[in-house]
Amino acid sequence: MTATLIWILVALVVIGLYLSWTAGRLDRLHARIDAARAAMDAQLLRRASVAQELATSGVLDPAASIVLYEAAHAARQAVEEQREVAESELSQALRAVFAESQQVDAVKEAPGGEDATVELAEAVRRVPMARRFHNDTVRAARALRRHRKVRWFRLAGHAPFPMAFEMDDEPPAALIERAA
């Protein structure tokens, strides 16, 4: 009788340790999601700021400046529910403005245009990487949260279900080619 109780107690301790380890792992994934989201937000803000700065610099033609400025401003001011759409529209505006390599060359020839082009190309290149890192972390947390043990024992606590950030982040090809 005593041996049976000891084995039951050992089994409960092992199960408790396993559940505790799983909850800790889930907590670490949620912390990584927060860090990845902050890094992605910083890259998106940097891209919008550089685009807005370029739009107001006077090196672009007036129509391109207006399109780029409005898209960058909308991306910077978007509320969370509209952020994916606003960022996608900024990507589309960047592709429209820098659709041809002649536009990139014209910007590079203007005073300060070389630095602005390189800075924008770097910002545009980093957004897909930051978004991919964030979405990979979200995918891992969602996979763990789908396990029965996590749901049954409520190991996620009150943390919101992680959501991926889906947007059009394809960079303008002419900008990436010419800025390199």
The pair of structure tokens assigned to 95 is: 């592709």
Greater confidence (79 vs 175) lies with 79
Minimal CA–CA distance to 44: which of 94, 3, 9, 4?
A: 94
Digit-coded pLDDT (tens) for 125-145: 999 999 999 999 999 999 999
Confidence of residue 179 (pLDDT cuts 50, 70, 90): low
The pair of structure tokens assigned to 149 is: 């043990």
Average confidence (pLDDT) over 136-163: 93
Give the max Cα distance, the chain. 88
- Per-residue CA distances from 5 to 9, 15, 17, 115, 124 (Å): 6, 15, 18, 73, 62
Measured between alpha carbons, how far is 57 from 17 in angstroms, rounded to an integer?
59
- Could you tell me if 67 and 97 are in contact, meaning their C-beta atoms sit under 8 angstroms apart? yes
CB environment 79-93: b (16+ within 10 A), e (fewer): eeeebbebbbbbbeb
Average confidence (pLDDT) over 39-46: 97
